């Protein structure tokens, strides 16, 4: 049964408050099958995003110990925020990494070297590097 026919069938049965019969059950099963196939197709079409979501969900699950809550936190803490927010976080982490490397180096007492290592990542460079690496990943792994 086609989806439109199935929806029309169930709409008619419900609107008339009729008792469901086997045709209604077939209609419902057609809709469920369509939804399941659609969900699989969405994952297939967005496999790279699905891999990343699964990776993050695994980490969040380890932390939160509840898969539904972990998924909600991904949506709330990560996906709801604009890309610019995440790029700014990346910039802060890159700057922190540079500073940590500097402090662990032999130049850590050199004031001029300290000034150079402090906030070395400009946001435009972070964006450009991110866009390059993101596109490289997509082009490398989109058909894997």
CA 118/CA 114 separation, integer angstroms: 6
pLDDT per residue rounded down to tens, the chain (144 residues): 898 999 999 999 999 999 999 999 999 999 999 898 888 888 888 888 999 999 999 999 999 999 999 999 999 999 999 999 999 999 999 988 888 888 887 777 777 777 666 667 899 999 999 999 999 998 888 776
* Angle ∠(16,19,25) on CA atoms, nearest 5: 105
Residue among 126, 74, 124, 66 nearest 95 (CA) = 126
Q: What does the pLDDT read at residue 105?
A: 78
Rounded to two decimals, the pTM is 0.69
Q: What does the pLDDT read at residue 110?
A: 74
Q: Identify the helix (H) or strand (E) that includes residue 59.
A: helix 47-64
CA 141/CA 25 separation, integer angstroms: 41
Q: Identify the helix (H) or strand (E) that includes residue 33.
A: helix 22-45
Classify residue 76 by its DSSP letter: I
| Residue spans per domain, the chain | 1-45, 83-141
CA 92/CA 123 separation, integer angstroms: 10
pLDDT tens figures, 9-27: 999 999 999 999 999 999 9
Contact status, residue 88 vs residue 123, Cβ threshold 8 Å: yes
């Amino acid at each position: 049964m086609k989806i439109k026919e199935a929806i029309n069938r169930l709409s008619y049965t419900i609107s008339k408050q009729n008792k469901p019969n086997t045709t209604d059950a077939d209609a419902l099963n057609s809709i469920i099958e369509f939804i399941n196939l659609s969900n699989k197709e969405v994952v297939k079409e967005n496999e790279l995003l699905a891999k990343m979501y699964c990776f993050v969900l695994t980490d969040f699950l380890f932390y939160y110990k509840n898969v539904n809550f972990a998924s909600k936190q991904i949506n709330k803490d990560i996906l709801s925020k604009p890309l610019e927010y995440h790029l700014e976080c990346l910039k802060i982490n890159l700057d922190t990494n540079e500073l940590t490397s500097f402090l662990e180096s032999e130049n850590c007492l050199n004031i001029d070297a300290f000034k150079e290592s402090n906030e070395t990542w400009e946001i435009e460079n972070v964006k450009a590097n991110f866009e390059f690496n993101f596109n490289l990943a997509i082009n490398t792994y989109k058909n894997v």
